[in-house]
């Protein structure tokens, strides 16, 4: 993986990440394809209609269904889904924590019950990276130890210690990836693939290059965040992390506290690697955190809000369910060039929602994702032009 | 409306219908867009991806939601949905009969309770044609009097009498359409539009030409069917029906009885007008009834089966839910050139179904509709080449 930092405007940074499966400019937003599918959309929608260069898939979900072995049989997520850009996969730790009952954390890892069939599974720092290897993810996230906020000092300290320990174990996996060939690794990680002849595994040529991002925890406490970051960087040896993520935010704390935590942390982070703020956020969150030096984001908000009828526009949020939309011949946003706005009226989209038509979900998701991706493009243009501060002030007026 | 009959092969007929909004070749299949939307798809999917030249919309559904006045404000279904081919609308009688509680039939029409909010409505032979005028349907269906099969002779006779009487009243509406201009008619049929300035009503130019098809009832009884057909044709004066439909079949009777009823009826029907078999059917039903001289079909089967995971292929039906699909890298049908087959594997589509992804519905619906539309193209080619009989025999072997 290559990260080129081109330019900056105050703390906002303009860069480009190159993976084995393509390039993407930063700051970037990654649409979320939880189950190897961005909800209501397909690979062509993502890469052609929307022009998304990277999407996020969830390790927890794809591990449970269809199973990493099945995806590995296709050579990974790209050939399985036919999306040819880059994939980032999370570690699965967050879902094992939030979706499962009877989850047990220990220094070894996380034991959890599947939310689908109740079967018992273990995620360890090594196992989640092996799974992400089978998925052929371009950017793999390490397993970290989450704690819900607010948390006691004791709990946060224990979480930091474990998060740093797991980061250290994750670097050993990176060493293993580097020191072994694909055939060895695939067969080592998959009982099913072990039985198959390697040269008959896939029809298509694979581009494979696992990059690993570490995750900084520490709640909203400046000192803890600093300690965690330093602990993670101290683990690095001949192998280092390809990027650094800020985890454990946007979990219910006030927005200002999130912004402050990021603002205190980013100046301490290495400048030569991408900074990824996990699970964030609203359009304003993106702009606020770009202003604080963040390069990458992901969030279910555009697609989830779309399905609920809340649509983002150049003049703020609108509710397509509102009865005022019934006879409205205008597009969702006259300034928008998305597929839904180029083709359909608010009245028709309102009708599709009211009538419970599946078609609604696709049109609304295309619109909201276009909005998010276009917002990132505007952000990048303004950083390049050194006009980000002005853009930021105007934007806050619309999305306050 | 123009109907050109080009050629025939035994009883199978090759023709072309020209409406104000385009042409379509017959025999044809009309995808069903119940609520002004073919489920899981949009106008571009229909006209560009699938190349459908005519779709069916339901008067009952669009009348109740969003309401015919709303669609009339857009100039009709074409501008509302952005589908630019032809629309056929049913009369709404079937849904008023099947979806409503406390439906009351009289010689005046059908009184029913909305399945959405329980509000009370009346459909009369005149009102359903007025509604279809507001929808700017290219082909309007008359109101007919349905009876569930099996039915007593008495019930069938009463149904015939009323169906013929309503057909006569429908021809008076045709006279009204011909003798009045658009502004007069729109304002006469819609209280809401009456308030608006006509020249400000629509943004786009409208193509308007209402054609009316009568419906032949009579159960599976040869004599009753003949009587109904004769009664309907006797109503014709300076105005005549633009096509004739066979209603009340595919309602639970054995397939052979449906085929026999059609076989007895089509030789008595005028040759110079399209023959439409309503609500039919399976792929084999289409082939069997083309062989008996039917020109037009509609059915929810391709889209409904798609959503349930049953997919039509050149080698018969397959169940995409089957666990055998889990690792299958082939397309649904290697002989198929549809969007889903060109882009995705059975394994991925199976996964989308199992994971409950909305995306599944679109891909499966595109595949099944492509299958149906392509089947009609094959049928037409074989009629043109005078090889329909051979095609019919081979097809029966696959879809028996």
Has B90 been annotated as catalytic? yes
User: Which residues of chain A are within 8 Å of residue B348 when distances are taken between CB atoms?
Assistant: 36, 80-82
Q: Do B42 and A81 touch (CB under 8 A)?
A: no
Catalytic-role residue among B9, B90, B242, B295: B90
Optimal mutation site among A39, A71, A355, interface B, most CBs of chain B within 10 A: A355
Is the preceding omega at residue A116 within 30 degrees of 0, hence cis? Answer: no
Is the preceding omega at residue B27 within 30 degrees of 0, hence cis? Answer: yes
pLDDT grade for B315, boundaries at 50, 70 and 90: very high
- Shortest CB distance from B359 goes to which of A40, A74, A326? A40
Give residue A192's pLDDT.
83
Q: How far apart are the C-alpha atoms of A249 and A232, rounded to whole Å?
A: 18
Tokens representing residue A348 in the block? 């028709």
CB B28 within 8 A of CB B85: no
Tell me: pLDDT of B192 over 90: no
Instruction: Report the relative pairing of strands B28-30 and B32-33 from DSSP bridges.
Output: unpaired
CB A96 within 8 A of CB A125: no
Q: What is the DSSP string of B329-379?
A: -S-S-TT--SHHHHH--HHHHHHHHHTT-THHHHHHHHHHHHHHHHHHHHH
Closest C-alpha to A34, from B153, B34, B381, B355: B355
Radius of gyration of chain B (CA): 21
User: Which residues of chain B are within 8 Å of residue A39 when distances are taken between CB atoms?
Assistant: 357-359
Catalytic-role residue among A138, A144, A285, A298: A298
For chain A, how are helix, strand and coil distributed in percent, rounded to 5? 45, 20, 35
Q: How far is CA A232 from the centre of its chain?
A: 20
Neighbours of B400 (CB within 10 A): 7
- Shortest CB distance from B359 goes to which of A42, A61, A66? A42
Q: Give the list of residues 6+ apart from residue B104 with CB closer than 8 angstroms, or none.
A: B110, B111, B112
Give residue A341's pLDDT.
98
Q: Do A326 and B37 touch (CB under 8 A)?
A: no
User: Which residues of chain A are within 8 Å of residue B61 when distances are taken between CB atoms?
Assistant: 355
Q: Do A348 and B203 touch (CB under 8 A)?
A: no
Q: Where are the beta strands (DSSP E) in B76-203?
A: 86-89, 104-105, 110-113, 120-123, 139-141
Across the range B186-212, mean pLDDT stands at: 85
Catalytic-role residue among A45, A90, A144, A295: A90
B110 backbone dihedrals φ, ψ, rounded to 5°: -125, 125
State the nearest Cα–Cα gap between A351 and chain B, in angstroms. Answer: 6
Tell me: pLDDT of B15 over 80: yes
Give residue A165's pLDDT.
98
Instruction: Provide residues of B within 8 Å CB-CB of chain A.
Output: 35-37, 39-44, 61, 65-66, 70, 73-74, 80-82, 203, 326-327, 329, 343-345, 347-348, 350-352, 354-355, 357-359, 361-363
Q: What angle do CA B171, B175, B181 make, to 5 degrees?
A: 140
Tokens representing residue A224 in the block? 């803890």
**B201 or B345, greater pLDDT:** B345
- Shortest CB distance from A351 goes to which of B36, B44, B326? B36
Give residue B198's pLDDT.
79
Give residue A191's pLDDT.
84
Closest C-alpha to A160, from A93, A230, A102: A230
Q: How far apart are the C-alpha atoms of B207 and B75, rounded to whole Å?
A: 9
Q: How far is CA A356 from the centre of its chain?
A: 29
ipTM associated with this complex: 0.97
User: In which residue ranges of chain A is pLDDT below 70?
Assistant: none
A348 backbone dihedrals φ, ψ, rounded to 5°: -70, -40
Q: List b or e across B372-398, with b for residues whose CB sees 16 or more CB atoms inside 10 angstroms.
A: bbbbbeebbebbeeeebeebbeebeee
Nearest CA in chain B to A360: B40
Q: How far apart are the C-alpha atoms of A187 and A197, rounded to whole Å?
A: 10
- Shortest CB distance from A37 goes to which of B65, B82, B352? B352
Within 13 A of A362's CA, how many CA atoms are on the CB side? 27
Has A107 been annotated as catalytic? no
State the nearest Cα–Cα gap between A212 and chain B, in angstroms. Answer: 26
Q: Do B42 and A359 touch (CB under 8 A)?
A: yes
Instruction: Provide residues of A within 8 Å CB-CB of chain B.
Output: 35-37, 39-44, 61, 65-66, 70, 73-74, 80-82, 203, 326-327, 329, 343-345, 347-348, 350-352, 354-355, 357-359, 361-363
User: Which residues of chain A are within 8 Å of residue B99 when distances are taken between CB atoms?
Assistant: none
User: Which residues of chain B are within 8 Å of residue A350 when distances are taken between CB atoms?
Assistant: 66
Closest C-alpha to B87, from B141, B40, B26, B49: B141
Q: How far apart are the C-alpha atoms of A340 and A343, rounded to whole Å?
A: 5
Q: What angle do CA A49, A38, B318 make, to 5 degrees?
A: 95
Length of chain A in terms of residues written: 400
Q: How far apart are the C-alpha atoms of A381 and A7, rounded to whole Å?
A: 11
Q: How far apart are the C-alpha atoms of B116 and B100, rounded to whole Å?
A: 9
User: Which residues of chain B are within 8 Å of residue A362 when distances are taken between CB atoms?
Assistant: 40, 42, 358, 362
Neighbours of B25 (CB within 10 A): 17
Nearest CA in chain B to A352: B37
Within 13 A of B397's CA, how many CA atoms are on the CB side? 5
Tokens representing residue B164 in the block? 């013929």
Q: How far is CA A335 from the centre of its chain?
A: 27
Kindly list the distances between the CA atom of residue B263 and the CA atoms of A128, A328, B226, in Å, as whole numbers in the listed order. 65, 49, 12
Closest C-alpha to B232, from B206, B218, B214, B210: B214
Q: Do A345 and B74 touch (CB under 8 A)?
A: yes
State the nearest Cα–Cα gap between A70 and chain B, in angstroms. Answer: 6
Q: How far is CA A271 from the centre of its chain?
A: 20
Q: Do B70 and A40 touch (CB under 8 A)?
A: no
State the nearest Cα–Cα gap between A159 and chain B, in angstroms. Answer: 33
Q: How far apart are the C-alpha atoms of B380 and B14, rounded to whole Å?
A: 6
Model pLDDT for residues B120-131, shown as the tens digit of each residue:
999 999 999 999
Optimal mutation site among B33, B351, B354, B361, interface A, most CBs of chain A within 10 A: B351
- Shortest CB distance from A326 goes to which of B43, B70, B82? B70
Closest C-alpha to B128, from B96, B162, B84, B83: B96
Give residue A301's pLDDT.
98
Instruction: Report the relative pairing of strands B211-216 and B139-141 from DSSP bridges.
Output: parallel
Closest C-alpha to A314, from A225, A399, A234: A399
State the nearest Cα–Cα gap between A37 and chain B, in angstroms. Answer: 8
Bridge-partner residues for A298, per DSSP? A30
Q: List b or e across A211-249, with b for residues whose CB sees 16 or more CB atoms inside 10 angstroms.
A: bbbbbbbbbbbeebbebbbebbbebeeebebbbbbbbbb
Share of chain B above pLDDT 70, in %: 100
Q: How far apart are the C-alpha atoms of A328 and A350, rounded to whole Å?
A: 9
Kindly list the distances between the CA atom of residue B138 and the CA atoms of A141, B125, B129, B185, B331, in Å, as whole numbers in the listed order. 57, 17, 12, 16, 37
Tokens representing residue B343 in the block? 């882009």
B13 backbone dihedrals φ, ψ, rounded to 5°: -120, 145
Give residue B150's pLDDT.
83
Q: Do B329 and A203 touch (CB under 8 A)?
A: yes
Mean pLDDT, chain B, as a whole number? Answer: 95
User: Which residues of chain B are within 8 Å of residue A80 when distances are taken between CB atoms?
Assistant: 345, 347-348, 351
Prediction pTM value: 0.97
Task: For residue A270, count CB atoms less than 10 angstroms from its CB and return exposed for 0-12, middle for 13-18, buried for 19 or more.
Answer: middle
Catalytic-role residue among B9, B45, B298, B333: B298
Model pLDDT for residues B324-363, shown as the tens digit of each residue:
999 999 999 999 999 999 999 999 999 999 999 999 999 9
Domain ranges within chain B, ordered by starting residue:
2-298, 307-398
Optimal mutation site among B355, B360, B364, interface A, most CBs of chain A within 10 A: B355
User: Which residues of chain A are within 8 Å of residue B65 when distances are taken between CB atoms?
Assistant: 351, 354-355
User: Which residues of chain A are within 8 Å of residue B345 when distances are taken between CB atoms?
Assistant: 74, 80
pLDDT grade for B202, boundaries at 50, 70 and 90: confident
**Superfamily (CATH) of domain A2-298:** Queuine tRNA-ribosyltransferase-like (3.20.20.105)
Q: How far apart are the C-alpha atoms of B227 and B145, rounded to whole Å?
A: 15
């Amino acid at each position: 993986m290559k990260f080129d930092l081109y330019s900056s405007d105050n703390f906002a940074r303009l860069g480009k990440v190159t993976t084995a499966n393509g390039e993407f400019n930063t700051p970037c937003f990654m649409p979320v394809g939880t189950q190897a599918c961005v909800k209501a959309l397909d690979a062509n929608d993502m890469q052609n209609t929307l022009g998304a260069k990277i999407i996020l898939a969830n390790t927890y979900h794809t591990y449970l269904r269809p199973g990493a072995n099945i995806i590995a049989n296709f050579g990974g997520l790209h050939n399985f889904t036919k999306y040819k850009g880059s994939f980032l996969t999370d570690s699965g730790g967050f879902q094992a924590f939030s979706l499962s009952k009877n989850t047990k954390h220990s220094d070894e890892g996380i034991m959890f019950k599947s939310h689908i069939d109740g079967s018992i599974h273990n995620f360890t720092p090594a196992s989640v990276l092996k799974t992400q290897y089978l998925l052929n993810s371009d950017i793999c996230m390490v397993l970290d130890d989450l704690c819900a906020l607010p948390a006691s000092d004791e709990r946060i300290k224990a979480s930091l210690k474990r998060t740093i320990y797991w980061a250290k174990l994750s670097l050993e996996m990176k060493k293993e990836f580097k020191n072994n060939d694909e055939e060895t690794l695939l067969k080592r990680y998959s009982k099913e693939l072990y039985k198959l002849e390697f040269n008959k595994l896939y029809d298509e040529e694979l581009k494979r290059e696992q990059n690993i991002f570490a995750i900084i925890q520490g709640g909203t406490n400046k000192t803890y965040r600093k300690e965690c970051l330093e602990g993670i960087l101290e683990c690095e040896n001949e192998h280092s992390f390809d990027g650094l993520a800020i985890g454990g935010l946007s979990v219910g704390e006030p927005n200002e506290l999130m912004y402050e935590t990021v603002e205190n942390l980013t100046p301490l982070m290495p400048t030569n690697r991408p900074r990824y703020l996990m699970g964030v956020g609203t359009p304003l969150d993106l702009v606020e955190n770009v202003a604080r030096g963040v390069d990458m984001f992901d969030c279910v908000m555009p697609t989830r809000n779309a399905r609920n009828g809340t649509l983002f526009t150049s003049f703020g949020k609108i509710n397509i369910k509102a009865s005022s939309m019934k006879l409205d011949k205008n597009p969702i946003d006259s300034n928008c060039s998305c597929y839904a706005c180029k083709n359909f009226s608010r009245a028709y989209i309102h009708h599709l929602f009211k009538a419970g038509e599946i078609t609604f979900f696709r049109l609304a998701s295309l619109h909201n994702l276009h909005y998010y991706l276009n917002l990132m493009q505007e952000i990048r243009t303004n950083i390049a032009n050194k006009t980000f501060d002005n853009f930021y002030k105007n934007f806050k007026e619309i999305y306050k």
